[in-house]
Amino acid sequence: MEYVDVELPPPGPGEARVKHEAIGLNFIDVYFRTGLYPQPLPNGLGVEGAGIVEAVGEGVTEVKVGDRVAYAARINGAYAQQRNLPAALLLVLPERIGFDTAAAMMLQGLTVQYLFHRTVALKAGDTILFHAAAGGVGLIACQWAKVLGVNLIGTAGSDEKAALAKAHGAAHVINYNTENFVERVREITGGKGVSVVYDSIGKDTFTGSLDCLAPLGMMVSFGNASGPVPAFTLSELASRGSLFITRPALFSYASNRANLEEMATSLFGVVSSGEVQIEINQRYGLAHIAQAHTDLEGRKTTGSTIIVP
Ligand code: NDP
């Protein structure tokens, strides 16, 4: 990554210029940087931010100059003081939600929203397994599960992280570096297994996650922090009890304005009410973005991280 000055043209038709007050850091940024998710180079990085609309292009109806807005958009380039974006991707922030919170929660919070309400419609009493429960997505998931009355079994890479996830509402947390998470899930569920596994770790946990599912359970493979999921045969789903599997991405769930607004209203609701608190545990200046990536990849962060432009 290189820090460079670039000319920003005026916003084009349908675009708005956002002056960032805060930028979100996400694991997807690492995938783009390493090339796991290829992109043309040179390019910007970063998919999330919050700030003020400074100018709008022709035909923009969604926002106006001076609006406080935030976004999570699959268009790299958020690591910047200002940028132009399609206005249809911007959401006007409720007064109670500050810029730091917004930049920390848009991508991770909208993800938990669709994972818990759309990928599977969780209901009170369900028992689920959620990996990396002390991370950015993870701490939001722990709290949101509690709101829904869902028993969330979390995993985390240290006892300190496990305690943090527990303090945020996880019913049980397994340190998967010192304990066999498959055995522990079987113990906790009295041998039954869970109805849904949310696995963002990928390579290291995929097979074990399948082993944690009850018959007809749903494997939600939504990330690859340890590397891509290895090839597997469909019969592995049959032999474990007719399992289901999906590989969702936020940007398909939020691909039209109506869905995006509905998901955002739900997220803004649980955050405004205080039921879900966005824990920002790291802040880095934009000039120190390399350190931020090193820490995120090195499993040194907990909760959410923001970049200060
Ligand atoms: P996190 O804050 O959760 O950071 C990733 C965590 O993964 C680490 O802190 C670490 O926690 C755990 N981990 C386990 N193995 C490794 C490894 N080998 N290398 C690095 N980390 C590892 O990140 P985010 O909250 O930004 O994202 C969480 C996951 O969700 C990511 O995989 C991301 O890609 C995915 N995601 C997917 C979306 C989708 O729509 N599909 C949208 C948003 C996020 P520990 O030490 O406790 O194991």
Tens of pLDDT along the chain (309 residues) come to 999 999 999 999 999 999 999 999 999 999 999 999 999 999 999 999 999 999 999 999 999 999 999 999 989 999 999 999 999 999 999 999 999 999 999 999 999 999 999 999 999 999 999 999 999 999 999 999 999 999 999 999 999 999 999 999 999 999 999 999 999 999 999 999 999 999 999 999 999 999 999 999 999 999 999 999 999 999 999 999 999 999 999 999 999 999 999 999 999 999 999 999 999 999 999 999 999 999 999 999 999 999 999
Contacts of 233 (CB under 8 A, 6+ apart): none
Measured distance CA(63)–CA(29) in Å, rounded:
26
- Is 108 near ligand 1, meaning CB less than 6 Å away? yes
- Is 28 near ligand 1, meaning CB less than 6 Å away? yes
How close is the Cα of 223 to the center of ligand 1, in Å?
A: 7
Q: What is the pLDDT of residue 30?
A: 98
How close is the Cα of 11 to the center of ligand 1, in Å?
A: 34
- Is 30 near ligand 1, meaning CB less than 6 Å away? no
How close is the Cα of 199 to the center of ligand 1, in Å?
A: 9
**Helix axes 99-114 and 257-272, enclosed angle (nearest 10):** 120
Q: What is the pLDDT of residue 118?
A: 98
- Is 161 near ligand 1, meaning CB less than 6 Å away? yes
R_g over Cα of the chain: 19
Count of C-beta atoms within a 10 Å radius of residue 187: 13
Query: What are the φ and ψ backbone dihedral angles of 170, each rounded to 5 degrees?
Result: -65, 140
- Residues 211, 213, 215, 216, Cα dihedral to 10°: -130
Count of C-beta atoms within a 10 Å radius of residue 19: 15
- Is 33 near ligand 1, meaning CB less than 6 Å away? no
Ligand 1 atom nearest 298 alpha carbon: 20
Ligand 1 atom nearest 108 alpha carbon: 43
pTM (two decimals) = 0.98
* pLDDT per residue as tens digits for the range 136-157: 999 999 999 999 999 999 999 9
* pLDDT per residue as tens digits for the range 177-219: 999 999 999 999 999 999 999 999 999 999 999 999 999 999 9
83, 110, 168, 221 from 1: Cα distances, Å:
18, 27, 34, 29
**Interface predicted TM-score (ipTM) of this complex, two decimals:** 0.99
- Is 177 near ligand 1, meaning CB less than 6 Å away? no
- Is 27 near ligand 1, meaning CB less than 6 Å away? yes
- Is 135 near ligand 1, meaning CB less than 6 Å away? yes
Q: What is the pLDDT of residue 256?
A: 93
Ligand 1 atom nearest 30 alpha carbon: 34
Domains along the chain with CATH numbers? 15-105+269-308 (3.90.180.10), 124-247 (3.40.50.720)
How close is the Cα of 56 to the center of ligand 1, in Å?
A: 35
